[in-house]
Amino acid sequence: MSSTHGPGMTWVKSSYSDGQGGDCVEWSPASATLNAVPVRDSKRPNGPQLAPSSAAWQSFVDSLKN
């Protein structure tokens, strides 16, 4: 599932997110670079965003898979 919020950003909800409106993490793969992967809480689309490096983001995703 994806949605667009803000100028030209498409957000993708994590498959690990709670479908009941609970823990919802989204990221913007089309806006990602080596230096920054936009991440936010889907319950607060106008709230703060994180932008870890792609290496840090990959490490985080890998840790969830294990």
pLDDT tens-digit map of 19-66: 665 668 888 988 888 899 999 988 888 888 899 999 998 998 899 887
Choice between 18 and 47, residue whose per-residue pLDDT is larger: 47
Enumerate residues 6+ apart whose C-beta is below 8 A from 58.
none
Q: What is the predicted pLDDT for the residue at 39?
A: 92
What is the DSSP annotation of 9-57? -EEEE-TTS-TTSSS-EEE-GGG--SS---EEETT-TTS-EE---HHHH
How many other C-beta atoms lie within 10 A of the C-beta of residue 42? 19
Rounded to two decimals, the pTM is 0.71
Torsion (CA) 51, 31, 45, 60 in degrees, nearest 10? -40
State in Å, rounded, how far the first CA of the chain is from the last one: 23
Judge whether residue 8 has pLDDT over 70: yes
